[in-house]
Amino acid sequence: MTVTDPYPGASLPLPADLYGRPRRDRTLRLLDAVVDARMRWTALTNRREPTPRADDRRIGVRVVERRIRAHDNEVVSLRLAAADGRDLPRWRPGAHLDVELPSGRLRQYSLCGDPADTRTYRIAVRRIPGGGGSEEVHRALTVGSALRVRGPRNAFPFAVPGHGSPATRLRFVAGGIGITPILPMIRLADTLGIDWTALYTGRARETLPFLDEVERFGGRVTVRTDDRSGLPTGAELVDGVRGGTAVYCCGPAPMVGAVATALRGISGVELHSERFSAPPIVDGVPFEIELARSGEVLAVPADRSALDVLLAHRPDQPYSCRQGFCRTCRVRVLAGAPDHRDSVLTPAERAAGDLLACVSRCAGDRLVLDL
Ligand code: FES
């Protein structure tokens, strides 16, 4: 099958990982350290600032549409247009926006509208009781509200089979609000005539957002709810998946974990996933962080992140995604050997001492942070 690039003029990104975020190879880490040291030296000798990233741009937007998207009234979608009336930066399925809420909170929301629509972005938010950001969206954002966004960025890139992926068919697995990044992927797969199926799960039909838009695709989509069928097993989530399939999965961490485990027994399957919580710490070893300005030394256990430990001592430490892609938790390392585990900082940023405390760790005993 010949697949034309639906977004000519831009390169198709390859998904970063098979099976989510795999453990990192020792040789690669050594290579990373050598490259980082080289970049650090180059940055020092050239005294150049890192080039600002295009997706760090801030855009003023206004809410132009607000709609309830699930029958339990707990999911709202917002359509955002540029405050200056211009076209918005383009995006691809899987992309998200960093949204600066009126309170100053920064939250990430997947884009779930049409990538061809350059006039508006659509995001959707499930209200989580006690979840400050989601409650603020539901309470404070109405048509006309002004806010700022950054991005779009893509931490969950979609590779079209035959054009960036060796797979020949697609399986989408979405849990609840996890349908948001999946929906544009489904639309694109369907438009391109790719062989695809989808499983959409949740507690009950009334909790599932965009059910009307998903069921429009007919028999390719299976809707499975816990109230009728019980909690799905990993095998049920990937039922029918065979070699040559790329699986795109977004939802709660246990669901994503169950899918990954179930797929390990099937060869020739790619898994690309996005979860709602921090990834598990792989090969964690304890280390210390020293706060240079106060002289405090904090112990980071093997099973906790530096951000967790910082938050316990400094509740105002900024953070958002906890998955190493939004950069909100960025701190500056003054001494020590970082073990970078994010995939977004550039070599120049790492050379300048930047570190994402939510996922990255220490390759030695202690990191001295400019805090
Ligand atoms: S909190 Fe988003 S990168 Fe650390």
In tens digits, the chain (371 residues) has pLDDT values of: 333 333 333 333 334 333 333 434 454 455 445 444 544 444 444 434 344 455 668 899 999 999 999 889 899 999 999 999 999 999 999 999 989 999 888 888 999 999 999 999 999 999 988 778 899 999 999 999 999 999 898 888 898 888 777 899 999 999 999 999 999 999 999 999 999 999 999 999 999 999 999 999 999 999 999 999 999 999 999 999 999 999 999 998 889 989 999 998 899 999 998 877 777 788 899 999 999 999 999 999 999 999 999 988 887 787 777 888 778 889 999 999 999 998 789 999 999 999 999 999 999 999 999 99
Residue 164, domain member (yes or no): yes
Here the CATH number for the domain that contains residue 317 is: 3.10.20.30
Residue 21, domain member (yes or no): no
- What whole-number distance in Å separates Cα of residue 172 and Cα of residue 272? 10
Distance 191 CA to ligand 1 centre (A): 34
Instruction: State which of 111, 132, 154 marks the end of a domain.
Output: 154
- What whole-number distance in Å separates Cα of residue 278 and Cα of residue 1? 38
Same structural domain, 170 and 217: yes
Is residue 275 classed exposed, middle or buried when 0-12, 13-18 and 19+ CB atoms within 10 A define those classes? buried
Who's near 226: CB < 8 A, 6+ residues apart? Answer: 201, 202, 203, 204, 232
User: What element of type H or E holds 88?
Assistant: none
Residue 6, domain member (yes or no): no
Same structural domain, 173 and 148: no
Residue 45, domain member (yes or no): no
Same structural domain, 266 and 301: no
Residue 49 is predicted with a pLDDT of: 39
Instruction: State which of 247, 275, 303 marks the end of a domain.
Output: 275
Distance 163 CA to ligand 1 centre (A): 31
- Closest ligand 1 atom to residue 358 Cα is 4
Q: At which residue do the structure tokens 């490259």 appear?
A: 35
312 close to 289: Cβ distance less than 8 angstroms: no
311 close to 358: Cβ distance less than 8 angstroms: no
Distance 115 CA to ligand 1 centre (A): 25
* Beta partners for residue 291, in sequence order: 369
Residue 81 is predicted with a pLDDT of: 98
Distance 295 CA to ligand 1 centre (A): 24
Residue 179, domain member (yes or no): yes
Same structural domain, 232 and 170: yes
Distance 328 CA to ligand 1 centre (A): 5
Is residue 192 classed exposed, middle or buried when 0-12, 13-18 and 19+ CB atoms within 10 A define those classes? middle
Candidate of 322, 360, 369 to mutate for ligand 1, largest count of ligand atoms within 8 Å of Cβ = 322
CA dist 111 → 58, 94, 186 (Å): 16, 7, 13
- What whole-number distance in Å separates Cα of residue 137 and Cα of residue 145? 10
Residue 35 is predicted with a pLDDT of: 41
Same structural domain, 230 and 134: no
- Closest ligand 1 atom to residue 319 Cα is 1
Distance 366 CA to ligand 1 centre (A): 21
Nearest C-alpha neighbor of 346 from the set 18, 46, 55: 55
Domains contained in the chain, number: 3
* pTM of the predicted model as reported, rounded to 2 decimal places: 0.73
Residue 280, domain member (yes or no): no
Candidate of 153, 311, 326 to mutate for ligand 1, largest count of ligand atoms within 8 Å of Cβ = 326
- Closest ligand 1 atom to residue 356 Cα is 4
- What whole-number distance in Å separates Cα of residue 192 and Cα of residue 172? 15
Distance 98 CA to ligand 1 centre (A): 11
Q: Which domain holds residue 327?
A: 287-369
Q: DSSP string covering 10-45, please?
A: SPPPPPS-SSSSPPPPHHHHHHHHHHHHHHHHHHHH
Instruction: State which of 132, 154, 176 marks the end of a domain.
Output: 154
- Closest ligand 1 atom to residue 324 Cα is 3
- Closest ligand 1 atom to residue 344 Cα is 3
Residues with CB under 6 A from ligand 1: 319-322, 324-329, 356, 358
Same structural domain, 164 and 256: yes
Residue 133, domain member (yes or no): yes
Distance 332 CA to ligand 1 centre (A): 14
